[in-house]
Amino acid sequence: MDTPFAPTSPTSDRVGLLLTGGGARAAYQMGVLKAIARIGRESGAPRSSPYQVIAGTSAGAINAAALACQADRFDAAVSEVVDVWSQFRSEQVYRTDSLGVIRTGAPWLTMMSFGWALHRWRRARPHSLLDNSPLETLLLRMVRFDRLPKLMADGELHALAVTASSYSSGEHVTFYECHQDIQPWTRSQRLAVRTRLGVRHLLASAAIPFVFPATSLPVNDRVGWFGDGSMRQAAPISPAVHLGAERILIVGAGRMHEPPGGHQDILGYPSIAQIAGHALSNIFLDALAVDVERLQRINSTLALLPPEARARTPLRPIEALVIAPSQRLDDLAGQHLDSLPRTIRALLRGVGVTGQGVTARGAALASYLLFESGYTRALIALGEADAEAKRREVQAFFGWRPRLMAGEPAAALASTAEPARLTSSSPT
């Protein structure tokens, strides 16, 4: 079994932070981290960053890099990134003006319908549904990669990893930067490359397939074209473990488990938007759920081994705290479809995004592209609420001593004496 739980270097109880992909859904992650920072302050935790290893994929990689590059002022960094998400507009991520949409979205949809008639005209072949050139401008302002070497040399951060998927080779690549000597690793269809990280790595990692254009990146002695790191990501937890994390906070961007019933089935033949939303959910959500289950099984198996047998295996238990949305983000997105720019609404209607609220069709696809403040603020609020609901587990995971509230018996703290091996805010 291809497992990510074999370390490549000694560790010293390092805490890792893993942020997964999900386009606009990644605003949820910042709500979780905002609440955890507040819980830390209220618990009297040290003001330094609690995360020594930070790994991210897709939009989660953007959050991860922005926070890692300010590891020496982590609480302030969380607040700043939350502010960015709270004031988001789609035009900061992709072109929403009529000319920009006409140059990308309209030809893309036309090529899907009439590509057989236009294949001879190479200029008519668009690279993606949307032009995400504004995102590069935002990232250059938001992420200070030039600070990483000194932060790592000073011990403020151990490692940062960003993952992307190669269209050229079919491999899933983890690009990482660290100060200490951590050798690259290779597994089936995936490998690690040590490099100086930059904005292009984030653009590649966050290039949602079909929606945003691929980005070229050097890999060892060749250059390849890369797209969203969530594609073909068989082991999302692996990079954090290989880089030395022994305890990992995992923040997802979609429900880890769907409750039985309660969701309206699709009636009639599914639209392109509904099929695309289903495909994106598979890309962004399913691999993480499977990897968390694998982690739980390995932890349970190791717990059954006698000490001498455990000493002979390269595997080790990984303590994980998993926090994922307690509500369907598709339904939440459906309530905010009208906030999208008119040009984007028209483009999405062309592939079947219609309606409003829980009855909206194609809202899953829109949930990844809804970079509008009404939606992102709702995601941040949900992330805060989900993390706050796990306050005791959070305190136990980080080893923070809870403070008694007025009138609360001392026995109430007993539940946090030992940290949980694995927990999730989603229904089990």
Instruction: Give me the pLDDT at residue 16, please.
Output: 97
Q: Is 204 helix (H, G, I), strand (E, B) or coil?
A: helix
* 81 C-beta neighbours (distance < 10 Å), count: 22
Instruction: Give me the pLDDT at residue 299, please.
Output: 83
| Model pLDDT for residues 328-363, shown as the tens digit of each residue | 888 899 999 999 988 888 888 877 888 877 778 888
CA 245 – CA 68 distance, rounded (Å):
15
Instruction: Give me the pLDDT at residue 285, please.
Output: 66
Joined together, the tokens standing for residue 256 give 């880890």
User: Is 356 within 8 Å of 337 (Cβ atoms)?
Assistant: yes
Which stretches within 235-271 are classed as H helix?
238-242
Q: Is 187 helix (H, G, I), strand (E, B) or coil?
A: strand
Flag whether pLDDT at 409 surpasses 50. Answer: yes
Better pLDDT: 165 or 409: 165
**Of how many residues is the chain composed?**
428
User: Is 263 within 8 Å of 319 (Cβ atoms)?
Assistant: no
Instruction: Give me the pLDDT at residue 154, please.
Output: 95
Instruction: Give me the pLDDT at residue 121, please.
Output: 45
Instruction: Give me the pLDDT at residue 8, please.
Output: 39
Instruction: Give me the pLDDT at residue 415, please.
Output: 45
Flag whether pLDDT at 255 surpasses 50. Answer: yes
Instruction: Give me the pLDDT at residue 74, please.
Output: 94
CA 389 – CA 106 distance, rounded (Å):
44
User: Is 36 within 8 Å of 387 (Cβ atoms)?
Assistant: yes
User: Is 132 within 8 Å of 59 (Cβ atoms)?
Assistant: no
Q: Residue 230 corresponds to which amino acid?
A: S
Q: Which residues sit opposite 19 in a β-bridge?
A: 56, 251
pLDDT band at 161 (very low <50, low <70, confident <90, very high): very high
pLDDT band at 277 (very low <50, low <70, confident <90, very high): confident
Joined together, the tokens standing for residue 406 give 């007025």
Considering the chain, what percentage of its residues have pLDDT values greater than 70? 80
Is the alpha carbon torsion for 418, 420, 425, 427 positive or negative?
Answer: negative
Nearest to 26 by CA among 324, 322, 274: 324
DSSP one-letter string for 342-363 = HHHHHHHHTTT-B--GGG-BSH
CA 159 – CA 347 distance, rounded (Å):
40
Instruction: Give me the pLDDT at residue 360, please.
Output: 81
Better pLDDT: 285 or 373: 373
Joined together, the tokens standing for residue 374 give 């009404």
CA angle in degrees (0–180, nearest 5) for 179-31-363? 110
Min mean pLDDT across 6-15, 71-80, 301-310, 361-370 is at 6-15
Q: Treating both helix axes as pointing N-terminal to C-terminal, what angle do 74-86 and 133-142 enclose, rounded to 10 degrees?
A: 150
| Model pLDDT for residues 82-136, shown as the tens digit of each residue | 999 999 999 999 888 766 665 654 454 444 444 444 445 455 555 777 889 999 9
User: pTM of the full predicted structure?
Assistant: 0.84
| Model pLDDT for residues 27-78, shown as the tens digit of each residue | 999 999 999 999 999 999 888 899 999 999 999 999 999 999 999 999 999 9
Cα of first residue to Cα of last residue in the chain, in angstroms, is 25
* 380 C-beta neighbours (distance < 10 Å), count: 23
Instruction: Give me the pLDDT at residue 196, please.
Output: 97
